[in-house]
Amino acid sequence: TGLTAAMPGVLLGDVFPNFEADTTIGKIQFHDFLGDSWGILFSHPRDFTPVCTTELGRAAKLSGEFARRSVKMIALSIDSVQDHLAWSKDIVAYNGEAPDSTLPFPIIADEKRELAVQLGMLDPDEKDKDGIPLTARCVFVIGPDKKLKLSILYPATTGRNFDEILRTVDSLQLTAQKRVATPVDWKLGDSCMVLPNIPEDEAAKLFPAGVYTKDLPSGKKYLRYTPQP
């Protein structure tokens, strides 16, 4: 349709494009790269830039946390593989690691910005020296079914919070398995909300640890909590 042509990008629930790309570990097909894992793809405006360097450093430090959650990480930036490999050395040094260390995830080269356009990643307000829009800071979390489960879009000037990204993965993985939602500021181990479409008698069976309903002025029984199942 005309609408999708005018609005590139991937919407929640869409199957994520199975693109082919050159990366720091060679050519990949995205779905093959993910295998049966969850995936996280995060994009960067440009190599050798300060905010991106801090982000990739933090992502590398958290790689064990993502691996523990069966999440494969991959980054994207609009420069070449050669630039990515040279930049990786700076990121390793920023992290205070040995010079021969490598990043625990690949970086996609998107020199023609084809993927950035296809995935709706461009930041119209931030342009490079040639006046071409830079890539925004996107976070895409993809489920084992290859569907987009979460997307967060930051402008090029705002660095991400990777603790928040891990928290969202915990929520996505829990709520994919259990019929609960996670409330504001939820963290692993906190109480969860019972979904509104579950009748009271079914909720009692589903959540043997108990369901607590908060009394509200409206008299409606929709604020129902249960210990994390």
Residues with a known catalytic role: 52
Q: Which sign does the torsion angle of CA 116, 118, 123, 128 carry?
A: positive
The 8-class DSSP code of residue 12 comes to: T
CA torsion sign for 216, 219, 220, 221 is positive
If one counts every other C-beta atom within 10 angstroms of the C-beta of residue 198, the result is 17
CA dihedral 102, 106, 107, 108 (to 10 degrees): 150
* Total number of residues shown for the chain: 229
In the chain, where does DSSP find H-type helix? 2-6, 30-34, 50-61, 63-68, 81-94, 114-118, 162-177, 200-206
CA angle 109, 112, 118 (to 5 degrees): 90
Would you state the structure tokens that stand for residue 229, as one six-digit string? 């199942």
Q: Token match 């990121």: residue?
A: 91
Angle between helices 162-177 and 50-61 (to 10 degrees): 50
Kindly list the distances between the CA atom of residue 134 and the CA atoms of 53, 82, 131, in Å, as whole numbers in the listed order.
Answer: 16, 19, 9
